[in-house]
A and B are shown apart, each in its own frame.
Chain A
Amino acid sequence: QVQLVESGGGLVKPGGSLRLSCAVSGFTFSDYDMSWIRQAPGKGLEWVSYISSSGSFMNHADSVKGRITISRDNAKNSLDLQMNSLRAEDTAVYYCARGGSTWSSLDYWGQGTLVTVSS
């Protein structure tokens, strides 16, 4: 069955860095676009980043552009999110999800990993 498992979350100081990973199984990873979505405590969902199946196209929300970068390794079935210059407002549960383009819905989600940015 399709599984997505995030890791790498934790407590980091403002200005610090963190790298999140998402390990996938149960489907042909290289056939699917992927996305990262986050949810601040008590808030709604916010799209963070998107990457095409080949990795040739990616995009990020304006709120994280220049600080956060999405990448993937199709040989390792892995999706990453490199987060730099972290701010308090980046505190959230970060979910990886399959899909997320105009034609592919976010059909499977991981359980999420919590990132807390605090001094």
Chain B
Amino acid sequence: QSVLTQPPSASGTPGQRVTFSCSGSNSNIGSNYVSWFQQLPGTAPKLLIYRNNQRPSGVPDRFSGSKSGTSASLAISGLRSEDEADYHCAAWDDSLSGQVFGGGTKLTVL
């Protein structure tokens, strides 16, 4: 059972905007930065968003993140077939003194 809660699946059509939710508590999302990772099939996770809404160099601005209270969200606009992947959220947890992850959301591009 993951500490952060993510819906197991999401879907969209090319060009559409999709959003992913990530729910936590005061000890993790509520008091620390949230990161998002994209994991393409058979590959290692790749950092997509850090510090709630910052994009690393090379990540398209189609990807955006936000945080409010104990929840965070990731949005992808202008959906493309190559966006089909698993998306994971993460945050430091003050009670556990370690990172906590969501279970991941599998995105299907129809």
- Seen from chain A, the residues whose Cβ lies within 8 Å of a Cβ on chain B are 35, 37, 43-47, 50, 59-62, 95, 100-103, 105-112
Minimum CB–CB distance from A107 to chain B (whole Å) comes to: 5
Contact across chains for A110 and B44 when beta carbons are under 8 A apart: yes
- List 10 A-B pairs, Cβ < 8 Å: A44-B88, A44-B103, A50-B99, A95-B45, A101-B92, A102-B32, A105-B51, A106-B45, A109-B45, A109-B47
Q: Could you say which of B37, B44, B50, B103 has the most chain A C-beta atoms within 10 Å of its C-beta?
A: B44
Set of chain A residues within 8 Å of B94, measured between Cβ atoms: 102
Minimum CB–CB distance from A119 to chain B (whole Å) comes to: 27
CB contact under 8 A between A105 and B35, given known A45-B104, A95-B44: yes
The size class of the interface chain B forms with chain A is: 20 to 34
A110→B45 CA distance, assembly (Å): 9
> Would you call the interface of chain A mostly helix, strand, loop, or mixed?
loop
Minimum-distance CB pairs A-B, first 3: A105-B50, A47-B99, A44-B103
A50→B50 CA distance, assembly (Å): 18
- Seen from chain B, the residues whose Cβ lies within 8 Å of a Cβ on chain A are 2, 32-33, 35, 37, 43-47, 50-51, 56, 88, 90, 92, 94, 96-104
A110→B33 CA distance, assembly (Å): 22
| A101: nearest chain-B partner, CB-CB | B92
A60→B96 CA distance, assembly (Å): 9
